[in-house]
Structures are given as structure tokens and as C-alpha cells.
Structure 1
Amino acid sequence: LQLKSDVDLRTPAEISAQPDKIPTGVKYIQLNVMADENLIVTPAQIDTLFKDPKLASKKMGGVEGVEASFFALYRDFVLLPSAQKSYRTLFLSLLNTSNVPVVFHCTNGKDRTGWATAALLTLLGVSKEEVLSDYLRSNEYLLPLHQNEIDRFISNGGDSGIPAALFGVKRKYLEVSFDEMHRRYGTIEEYFAQGLSINTAQQEQLRKLYLVRDRDL
């Protein structure tokens, strides 16, 4: 892929537990989206809980509790100063052609990465329905990836809805980010301008770099 940059959106604890393997010549950039939020659940904590389905259900509050946690998380992607700072750095890095091609990721590539992708695609003019459809495709890849953990959890008496809500994505998760963005800023352009301090000229430059005309395809 001839990558030039790897942008890691995870917490230091996540990075320490499973550091990226950086190819020679690739710039590594750490952006802790959730630095201002101390309640993010780590993969190690999830692994511990999943060994005891009854404890997991109690700690997480069942499916409703898991969903509520994700609703709060997706609001934080829009509102947290650390998230705004991280996404600003990510998007501005895309303006520097010496940084691209770039890969950006978190732990499962669906939540922190999901909002980053959704916001960028929306700024580029992709419809909300297409963005949501693309986001939901994460289930096709992530749920099979965690199938052994899911099967073990269910066979031990766990509610099948908990791992689906935790390891997968739901339309209403991303809708929370969109709703918060519109409530706070009105439009995606104003979210970039006010929330991320990425001005109109920089937004237009992103469009010029990452959109092509039909005749160029």
C-alpha cells in the first residue's frame, strides 16, 4: 500500500497492551481521542468480564447498559476537547500530501475510527445513508472476528445481545454522534470550523484532494 503514516487513535494503555508494528519509513502518530474520558473499557477488562457472563451482565447493565455506554461514547467523540484536538490533527494531516497514503485506526476500527470516517465522508458530500450503510458493514467483519469469544460467552449462559452490542455496531450509535454534531454546530461544515478549528479554505482543500470527477475515474 506504500503507506507513509499510521495514525493511532487509542489510549496509551491500549497501545502498550498491543503496540502497532510500524513498517520502516512509516510515520507513527499517536492521538488519544479519549484522553479526557477515564471510563473507556479496555480490551483486557472486557476479556476478564467475558469469562464470567453473570458478572459481565451485572457490571455492564445488560444490553441496555452497553448501549447507553456507547451512546455516551459517541457523544464524547463530538464534545470532548481531546477528541476535537485529535480529530483536528488527523484531518489536517490529510492536507499534507507527504503524509499520505495514511491508515488511521483504534482498537476495533469501528467507534473512534467510525466517527472520524463518518465525519470526513460527510464533509466530502457523501450522503448520511451511504455513510451509515458503510459503517454498518463493520458487523460483517468484526462479529466473525470475535465469534469464539461470543460463542463461549453464550455457552456459559451469557445474553447474546451483550457481545453483539459490544463488538458490533448499531445504526443508533453513529446517529448519536450526528445528532450531537447537528445540535451543537448545525452543519458538518460548522463542526469542522467551530469544533475542530478547520476553516473553510482547509475544508475545501480536503475536498479537492479527496474527490475526483466522474471523467477522472
Structure 2
Amino acid sequence: MTPIALTSVPNLRDVGGYRTESGAKVRTGVLYRSTDLGRVADTDMPLLADLGIRTVYDLRTADEREVAPDKLPDGARAVALDVLADKGIRSIPAQMLHVIADPMIAERELGGGRAIEYFEGSYRDFVSMPSAVSSYRELFRDLAADDSTPALVHCTTGKDRTGWATAALLLLLGVSEEDVFDDYLLTNELLLPSFAGVFEKFTDAGGDPSLLEPVLGVRRQYLEVSLATMRTSFGTIEGYFSDGLGLDAERQALLRERMTAE
């Protein structure tokens, strides 16, 4: 909820601060979300270290991690959770960046609503694809442990894989769906400005910048797809955590205890 001003790590913010429907509050200083930590400037590292992060959950593919390895704060352990492993495709975000570098290729690959269809498919996969299920299971199971927090969860841009992780957790904690969507859409304010150069270059090359927005930002309908898939398959967020991820009611209660305060 609270943005943290690290110029080299856009979209970094504290997940806490929201009120739950029972009147509790999601704790601050427990879980953060961000883009990858591969480009942390030396001048920003002390600010990152001040967060006291013990665990960094990296939701990227192996290829993404190899191309841009995280720069971790001292004492933090890295946990690699490849959400998209079952896609069988090398670095999807890297492919997207290659596609949008050329307006003609971008129009062919992403025009006519194809970009939106791709992301909607990914958001369905976040709920049902085996590699996503196992990754999110480990993430939430670990967050319930005594020694895992403060923690940070990220992917490459901190908007899709990280967006579903954050949304699912906040819903389980009892945060209203309206606040969950507000948190999700905050990415457009915090992340898109960092792509100003990409938009400018694309426009100068004759491209339509509106073609990039569904790729570099987020849309309400993306998260709505995940929620619809979750409800069709499991009924409720509690059902998703228990029947989808294998985290029983006791583990869910432990997560709430760790992440909220009266």
C-alpha cells in the first residue's frame, strides 16, 4: 500500500496497511512487493537493507533469473519459485520486450486484442497451472513460518505473477475486493512512468503507444480472470487456499495471525 522511493526499483511497496472486513489491519513491515532486484543501484541498497528483509521470493523463470540476478540485501535468503515453468517457454517478459521494440512486430503479435488475450490466459494459468500452484503453495506456506518475514515477493515487473500473489493473500486476510483491485491497479501509477523511454522510442518509430499499455501495465480485467477462474474451480478464496494450494484452515489461520493485527 505504501510506496517506497527507490528509483532503481520501481513498484516497490509495502503490502500492509489495509483494513480487513473484520476490522483488523494488515501489518506493515512484514511483506513487500516489487520489480526484480537485478538493477538495485548502490545508492539504493542501504534503503533496501533498512527494510530488514529476511526472504526474497523470486517468481521469475530460470532464464529471467540468469539474465538479471537479484542483488540481495545482506542476510536475505533467496527462494526461487518459477510460476511459469510449465509454459515451457524461455523468458516471456524478455520476449515481450523484444516484440515491443519494433512497432511492426508489435502490431503483428499484440494487435487486435492479442496482447489482452495473452495476459488473460496467463492469469487463468496463475490459478490452475501446476507450476503456478506449487510456487504459490510454497510462497504462502513459507510466509506462515516464524522466520520468513520481513519478506519481499517479486517477478520481473512486479505486476502479474506478483499481482496475483498479493491479491490472493489480501483476499484471504479479509481485505475488501475493492481495496484489492486498488492495490493491484496502483502498479499503473508506480511502474508505467519507468517505461517512459520505451513509450517515447516506440512512438518515434511510428508505433501506437496504446498498444503497449496492456503489456507494460495492468488492467482490471486481468485480475478479474484469475478471480473468476478461482471461483469456478474452488468457490471461495478459502477454497482456493485449501483445495487448490493444499493449505488447510489451520495454516490459513496462521497466515492471518502472522499478517494482521487487531
TM bin, normalised by shorter chain, reads over 0.9
Q: How does 1:20-39 map to 2 (within 5 A)?
A: 20-39=70-89
Residue 170 of structure 2 is matched in structure 1 by 121
Query: What SS is found at the alignment partner of 1:137?
Result: helix
- Over residues 116-144 of structure 1, what are the superposed CA-to-partner deviations in whole Å (9 max), with x where a residue is unaligned? 00000000001111100111010001110
- Residue type of the alignment partner of 1:52: D
Query: What SS is found at the alignment partner of 2:258?
Result: helix
Query: What SS is found at the alignment partner of 1:28?
Result: strand
Moved over 2 A (4+): 38-51
Structure with a larger share of its residues in helix: 1
2:258 corresponds to 1:190: no
Q: CA deviation at 1:63?
A: 5.2
**Runs of 5+ consecutive residues of structure 2 not aligned to the other structure:** 1-50
How big is the alpha-carbon RMSD for the aligned residues of Structure 1 and Structure 2? 1.3
- Residue type of the alignment partner of 2:58: D
* Partner Cα distance (1:41, 1:27) in 2: 23
**CA 1:93–1:130 in 2, change beyond 3 Å: closer, same or farther?**
same
Contact 2:63 2:91 in 1 (8 A): no
* Partner Cα distance (1:16, 1:182) in 2: 35
2:97 corresponds to 1:47: yes
Q: Indicate the larger mover: 69-78 or 89-98.
A: 89-98
**Runs of 5+ consecutive residues of structure 1 not aligned to the other structure:** none
- Over residues 146-199 of structure 1, what are the superposed CA-to-partner deviations in whole Å (9 max), with x where a residue is unaligned? 110011112212122221110000000000000000011000001000100000
Query: What SS is found at the alignment partner of 2:191?
Result: helix
- Residue type of the alignment partner of 1:92: R
* Partner Cα distance (1:121, 1:43) in 2: 25
2:205 corresponds to 1:153: no
* Partner Cα distance (1:186, 1:64) in 2: 29
Q: CA deviation at 1:4?
A: 0.5
Residue 202 of structure 1 is matched in structure 2 by 251
- Residue type of the alignment partner of 1:161: S
So what's the TM-score if we normalise by structure 2? 0.78
Residue 34 of structure 2 is matched in structure 1 by none
Residue 16 of structure 1 is matched in structure 2 by 66
**CA 1:51–1:145 in 2, change beyond 3 Å: closer, same or farther?**
same
